[in-house]
Amino acid sequence: MEYLFYILIGFLIILIVDLAVTSFWAIHDTLINQKQDQISFKEGFIKYFVLHNNIPLKMSDLFD
């Protein structure tokens, strides 16, 4: 039963690292392109987070 705990911890680590890297690149691209796109930081972050995200955020995205 303990191995299920380790598998869960492994998935959480992978998810947290992926979200951290995606957030880093979204912030980077937002700061670089904010004046060119003429959008707020929040809108830019959402735009680039969705662009760089490779984990589906909705169940419908799994089947596309």
Phi-psi region of 56 (alpha: psi -120 to 50; beta: other; left: phi over 0): beta
pTM of the model: 0.73
Q: Mind listing the pLDDT tens digit for each residue in 29-56? A: 999 998 888 989 998 888 888 888 877 7
pLDDT per residue as tens digits for the range 8-36? 999 999 989 988 999 999 999 999 998 88
The residue type found at 58 is K
Residues in the chain: 64
Domain ranges of the chain: 2-53
